[in-house]
Amino acid sequence: MKYALVTGGSRGIGRAVCLSLARMGYHVIVNYRSGKESAEETLNMINNEGSSGELLPFDVSNREEVKQALSSWKEKHPEGYIEVLVNNAGIRQDALLVWMKPEEWDKVISTNLGSFYNVTQALIQDMLIKKCGRIVNMVSLSGLKGLPGQANYSAAKGGVIAATKALAQEVGRKGVTVNAVAPGYIRTDMTKDLDEKQLKNLIPMNRFGTPEEVASVVAFLASEKSSYISGQVISVNGGLYT
């Protein structure tokens, strides 16, 4: 059985990624921090596709919690390993830097950037031993371009982009690829507070994207077809910024 872990897999882009990987034959481990009902709904959708999966709750920003959860999973699956990791979990707490509270900076950095270390470091050794692995990091247009009111989010996602390129060079010889996907404006819960009617005028394709359009790129990067692609950032943004 092939295993894939998607952090923040209970809804939005994460849910779409879970379903795409399930269709590829992976047993999908759906991580979530809160919102158990949404996570269970995702798992039901996986099962309805004729695929298999399981729930694995933990807070990606809590290093000890991550370590305990993944160690427990490994003990229960001694013959398997997580071949595909999609670091998708993330949050936004937007504010102009002059008004940004320390906790808004710290929480966004720990959830979006610290989680990259917490989860990836716990799984990378198994991939190296098996000489096979795919790591896909969900970043953002904000991490490439920088957006006003998102100094914390831009810093975190920009950090993940740099870490993606560095790690790709560390593990490439062992058959492990590391890439990032940078969505623009995608219609999810995270963007529901944005003015879509106004913002779509900035997008050459004149619309927000869908989670499924992002998930299709993640699925490609998780497949054998992408075996010579590593250290790259692929934008899915309707031509908004390249």
Positions marked active-site:
153
Q: How many CB atoms lie within 10 A of CB 129?
A: 11
CA–CA separation, 5 vs 196, rounded Å? 31
CA–CA separation, 123 vs 145, rounded Å? 30
Written as one string, the DSSP assignment of 54-114 is EEEE--TT-HHHHHHHHHHHHHH-TT--EEEEEE---------GGG--HHHHHHHHIIIII
CA distances from 229 to 172, 179, 223 (A): 10, 8, 11
